[in-house]
Amino acid sequence: MIMAAACFRAQDKAEKALELFSEKYPQEKVHLVFNKNSFIAGENLWFKSFVFDGYDISGISTSLFVELYDSNKVQIGKKIVPLINGQGSGNFTLPESLKEGIYYVRAYTTWMANFNEDFQAIKPVVIYNPSSPQKLVPNTDSKWTAAAFPESGTFIDGINTKFAVRLQSKGLTPSDWSGYVVDAEKPDVKITSFKGFDQNVGAFSITPQTGKKYQLIVTDSKGNKQAIDLPPVADSGIHLKVTSGNDAIKFSLASKNIAPGTLYKVIAMINNQLVFKVNSEKILEKSYSIPTSQLINGILQLTVFDAKENVVAQRLCFVQPDQLKIKKPALESLSLNESPRASNSFTIAQNPDQEGYAVLVLDGNSENPEDENSMLSTLWLTEDIPSKIYSPAQYFAPNHNSEALDALLITEKWKRFDWNAIMAGTYPIISYQPQPYISYKGKVTIQGKPAPDTDMNLLFSMPDKGMKIYQVKTDSKGFFSLRGLIFEDAIKFSYQLNDPKIPKEQVQVIFQPDFSFVPLKGNLPSNNYILVQRTGEEKPAPEIKRYMVTKSTQNTINEKATLIEEVKLIQSKKDKTRELNEKLSGPLFQGANETIFDFVNDNNNSAQGSMNILQWLQGRVAGLTLEMDMGNYVPKMRGSTVNIYLDEMRIDPSQINTISTSDIAMVKVIKDFFAGGLGGSGAIAIYTRRGGITGSVSNSSIPSKLKQITLNGFDKETPFVSPIYGNDNFNSILQDLRSTLYWNPYLQVQPKEPTTVQFFNNDDAKSYKVIIMGFDEKNFAPVYYSETIK
C-alpha cells in the first residue's frame, strides 16, 4: 500500500527522499534458528529469534508473531513471544497427526506488517512421519533456468562489461556448471568461457560491439543446456564499474557518446543511510574511492542519476567482505568426553559488553540448522535480498568466496524502496503501529452507556503476593489502556468503580487486544523437496529411526524430570534478587528494561547514610538526573519527569524524605513502557520491607464478589529438558540418540564467574557442533561461533 506526499524540489530530491524514508520507515528483519534441522511429528520445535533494525538489534518492536503453516498455507499454530532487547524464543509442539512434508515457520513484527511480505522471515522446516502415506525426497529433476545481468544494468559498445549469471530452480540447481559466450552469427566460436562459482552464480567479462548479437550458453555436468540472449548493445550511455576492497570501495563511470560537461550525480547508501555523494560535470573523467574505515559490513547501493535525477545505473556491493566484523566468543576450560552419556562442559570467556548468549550443542554427525541460512547471512543478506538464494550462509563462512558474493549482488536490486517512488513522494501507508509488549484497550459502560472520566479499581489476585489494587481513569469517551503488560498464559482480575452508589450489575468493562496477527497474503516460498508415494514394505531411513528413538527417549526424560524435586533440571535457578522482585512486584509493574537494587540480599550499606533514596540512585542509573523543585528532588529521564511509586501507589516527590532507607526492601527503575504507568513510560518503584502493604487488599473475599475478566498474555514456552546422567531417575533410559544435546536461548552471563555450559553425551557422539549467538550493541557487531569441537 502506498500514499502520496509532497514532491521534493529538483537537484536534491533523491537525498531528501532518502533522508525521510530512513527516518520514518526503519526496516526490521528477523533471524530464526531452530534447535535442530529437521523433526518428526510429535516432537517439540524450539526456536530462537533475533530482530534487527538494519544492522543493529531492534528497539522498535517488543513482540514477535510466529506462525506455523503446512505447504498448502493452512495455519497449524501461532505464538506471540516477548522481545527482550530484540531477542525472543518459544516452541511449537508438533501434532502426532502431521503428515510428512515441508512446513513453514513465519515470523514478523507488527511494524514489519506495514511493508512488503517478502521481507518477513519464512523458514521451511522438514517434518517426517513414517506412518504418512507419502515421503519426502530431494527434488533433483526440476529444471533450472539461467539469466545474465550486466554490471550496473548497462551494456554499451566498446566498454568492457562484467556479467553475473544467476541460476534458479524450484528444486536444486546444479553445483557443477559452466558457460560460454558466442556471437549469434558464429555459434561455434567461443568468445569467453567461465565456470560457476556455486549453485547460485558465475561471472564473465566481455567487450561488446554495436550491431552484434551475443548469446550465452550454460551447461551442467548432466548435459542439460540453456541458451540466453544477452541484452542488445547500446551505442551510447553510462556504465558503472565497482570494486569492493578491504580499504575502500572504488568506482568509475565509463561512457560512450555522452556530451562533454554533462552533469551526473552518484549517491552511495548503506542501510538506507547516505554515506557518500559526488555531483560533478567532470564525474566521467575521474575514479572515486569510498574509504571503508567509517563504514560497517553490509550491502552498499551505488546509484547514478542524470541532471534531471533520473536513475541511469545502479550497483550493489558488499562492504569489506573479507574483513567481517564478528565478535567470536572464546571457549575455555574444555572438558570433553566422548564416552556414552558422559558429562561435558566448557566455559565462555568473560565479556563485559555481553549480557547473554543463545547456545546450541549438537551431535557432531547431525545437520547444523545454521548451515543453510545463518544469523550472519540473515543480518547482511537474505532479509534485504528476498529472492531465493541457495545456502546463503556460505558467503559469510570462514572459507567464503567474496567474488561469488559480488557476482550475486550484481544480479540483484535494492528492493526496500524504489527511487522513482520515494522521489515522487510515494511512501508506505503505516497501518500497524508497534504496541509495547501486551497491550489492551478497555471500555467502561454504565447501563450500556460510556462512562467518561470515571475512576475504576482493578484488583489482581497474585500467588504469594495477596491482592494488588490499581486505579485507572477513563477518558472522555469511556476508554482506558493497559500498555506494556509482560505475563504468560492468562491473568485474571476483578474490577469495581470508585463510586459506591453505582451497582456493580450496571457496570461492564470490555477489553480488546491492541495487537493482532496479520494474515499471510502471498505464497509460501518454494523448497527443494517433493513428496512421493511410500511403499508398504519400506523401512524408515536410519536418520528417521534415530528421530523415532529420540522422541520416545525425550518423553521418558520429561517424565523422569518431573519426579525430581529440584526444579533446577527444568528451569534455571532463580537468583535471590529475581525472587524478591517477583514477590514484591505486581503484574502491572513488570518491565523488560528495569534496573533492580536489592536492599535485602545485597550489601547496599552506602544507602543507609543517604537521607534521600533519589540522591543515592543518581549516578547509579544511566540517564537519571535530579532537579530541585520547591525544595524537593524531582527525578528525570531523557528530559522527562519520572513518576515515583511507593509499594506501587503513586506518590509525590515531597514524600520521599519521609521514607527511611532502612525500611526499603527494593528499588527498581523502569526505563520502558509498563502497564502500571497507565500508558506512561518509566518509573522509580520503591518497595518497603513490609512487603507492599500500601496498595494491597486485605480482604481476600472482595474479588470473588466482583465481576472478573481474563486477559491472555504471551505464549508460555515449554522448557527444554536434558537428562542428568548419574541421577538414578535417568538410569532406566535404554537408548539415547539425541541430536540436540543442549539448548539454551538465554544463557545469562555471570559478571563475576565464568559462564559455563554443561551437557551430557548421547550414546554414540564423538564430536560436538557448538553454536553461540548474540549481539554486541556497543560495537554494532554480531557475536557468533559455529564450529565442531572434539
Write the pLDDT tens digit of every residue in 721-769: 999 898 877 888 889 999 999 999 999 887 677 789 999 999 999 999 9
Kindly state the helix (H) or strand (E) to which residue 550 belongs, with its residue range.
helix 542-563
Predicted pLDDT of residue 569: 37
- Confidence bin at 635 (pLDDT 50/70/90): confident
Give per-residue burial for 292-325: e unless 16+ CB within 10 Å, then b.
beebbbbbbbbbbbeeebebbbbbbbbbbbeebe
**Quick one: pLDDT at residue 609?**
64
Q: What is the mean pLDDT of residues 573-591?
A: 76
Q: Where are the extended beta strands (E) located within 451-502?
A: 455-462, 466-473, 479-485, 490-497
- How would residue 116 be classed by pLDDT, with cut points 50, 70 and 90? very high
Quote the pLDDT of residue 384.
95
Q: What span, in angstroms and rounded, lies between the C-alpha atoms of 24 and 19?
A: 9
Average pLDDT over residues 710-728: 88
Of the listed ranges 342-351, 501-510, 776-785, the one predicted with least confidence: 501-510
Q: Is the pLDDT at 363 greater than 50, yes or no?
A: yes
pLDDT at residue 66 greater than cutoff 90: yes
Q: Is the pLDDT of residue 335 over 80?
A: yes
pLDDT at 491: 81
pTM of structure? 0.86
Query: What would you report as the CA-atom Rg of the chain, rounded to the nearest whole angstrom?
Result: 31
Range in 228-242, 278-292, 625-639 the model is least confident about: 625-639
The confidence score (pLDDT) of residue 678 equals 60
Three-state SS at 599 = coil
Cβ burial 469-479 (10 Å sphere, 16+ → b, else e): bbebebeeebe
DSSP string, 133-164: SEEEEE--SS-EEEEEEEGGG--BTT--EEEE
Mean pLDDT across 392-411: 97
CATH fold of the domain at 438-517+701-712 = Immunoglobulin-like (2.60.40)
Q: How far apart are CA 558 and CA 563, in angstroms?
A: 9
What is the rounded average pLDDT of the residues 9-27?
A: 87
Distances (CA, A) of 118 to 72, 414, 634: 18, 13, 48
Reduced to 3 states (helix: H, G, I; strand: E, B; else coil), residue 521 is coil
pLDDT at residue number 8 = 39
With a cut of 90, say whether residue 277 has pLDDT above it: yes
Confidence of residue 284 (pLDDT cuts 50, 70, 90): confident
User: Average pLDDT for residues 283-304, to the nearest whole number?
Assistant: 93
Is 545 or 589 the better-scoring residue by pLDDT? 545
Q: What average pLDDT score do residues 378-386 get?
A: 95
Which residues are CB-neighbours of 422 under 8 A, at least 6 positions away? 17, 18, 20, 21
Residue 64 and residue 111 in contact, taking contact as beta carbons nearer than 8 Å = no
- Contact between 440 and 485 under an 8 Å Cβ cutoff? The reply is yes
* pLDDT for 704: 52
* Greater model confidence, 248 or 698: 248
Q: Per the structure block, which three cell numbers stand in for 378?
A: 540473515
Rounded CA separation 495/116 (Å): 42
pLDDT at 697: 42
Q: In the chain, what percentage of residues exceed pLDDT 90? A: 60
Its sign, for the CA torsion 760, 764, 767, 773, is negative
| Cα–Cα dist 6/215, whole Å | 45
Angstrom distance (rounded) from CA 634 to CA 651: 12
Sheet (strand 664-673) strand order = 594-598, 664-673, 681-688, 643-646, 649-651
Domain ranges of the chain: 438-517+701-712
pLDDT at 640: 80
- What pLDDT does residue 645 have? 87
How many Å is the maximal CA-CA distance in the chain?
98
Phi-psi region of 389 (alpha: psi -120 to 50; beta: other; left: phi over 0): beta
pLDDT of residue 515: 85
**pLDDT tops 60 at residue 695:** no
Strand 299-305 versus strand 696-697 pairing type: unpaired
Between 707 and 641, the more confident residue is 641
- What is the rounded average pLDDT for all residues in the chain? 88
The pLDDT of residue 467: 67
Band of residue 568 on the pLDDT scale cut at 50, 70, 90: very low
Report which listed range, 112-121, 133-142, 431-440, 555-564, is most confident. Answer: 112-121
Nearest alpha-carbon partner for 164 in 176, 148, 177:
148
